Amino acid sequence: MHLPDGIVPLNQAIIYWILTLIIISIFLYKFSKDENKEKRIISIAIFSVFTITVTSLSIPSPLGVPIHFFLIPLIAIMLGPNSSNIVSFLSLIMQSLMLNMGGITILGANFLVMGFILSFVTYGFYKLFEDINKKVAIFASTIIGIMAATFGQVAILIISGAMNFDVLLATLVPFYLFISIIEGFANTIIITAIEKIKPEIMEINKI
């Protein structure tokens, strides 16, 4: 889902960067009020390294295109949407500099899709479904979050004039729906296991 430099006009890329800096500033303000700063710093650092490592792996798929998992829905559910935003931001910087995934000018747009939209939509639907059934909430919110991010990317590409809606609908949407289902199952298994083995991890204040 990483957009490369040059696909979005520079004036639009600057707007996405400004929005990104505003979102990061809001998190830093909330972070300053957090009573568990040290634990959160450690959690964010660990998840950032984990995200960079896992998302760099290419997994073959029956669709003929390698799969890269997001992990951001998992982090949003475990730590909260603002924390997963920071993990996403740090990961995108390192991925663009070290792994040639995405780019610097386009980083703002990538963050809005894979950080902001993915984090808040996933967390919002998780909280909405949590009281009904926690496993269903994890699975459904992961799928909805990834698909919301997909349509966010579709919107950015249409606004930029890079591609038309029909092409994007026929390519990106089914591919990321496939990924979201797999990641939804994986997140359900991971979080259920964590709740049994190390429940205190899930009890950290979510911001």
Q: What is the pLDDT along the chain (207 residues), one digit of tens a residue?
A: 788 888 999 999 999 999 999 999 988 888 877 777 777 888 888 889 888 888 777 776 665 666 778 899 999 999 899 999 999 999 999 989 888 888 999 999 999 999 999 999 999 999 999 999 999 999 999 999 999 999 999 999 999 887 777 777 777 888 899 999 999 999 999 999 988 887 776 667 777
First to last CA, the chain: 25
Q: What is the pLDDT of residues 110-162, one digit of tens each?
A: 999 999 999 999 999 999 999 999 999 999 999 999 999 999 999 999 998 87
Closest CA to 148 of 126, 176, 175, 168: 176
The two structure tokens encoding residue 92: 């995108």
DSSP 61-97: -TTSS-B----HHHHHHHH-HHHHHHHHHHHHHHHHH
Domains in the chain, start-ordered, CATH in brackets?
10-203 (1.10.1760.20)
Q: Please report, as a single letter, which amino acid is at residue 98.
A: M
Rounded CA-CA distance 109/139 in Å is 26
The two structure tokens encoding residue 132: 């009904």
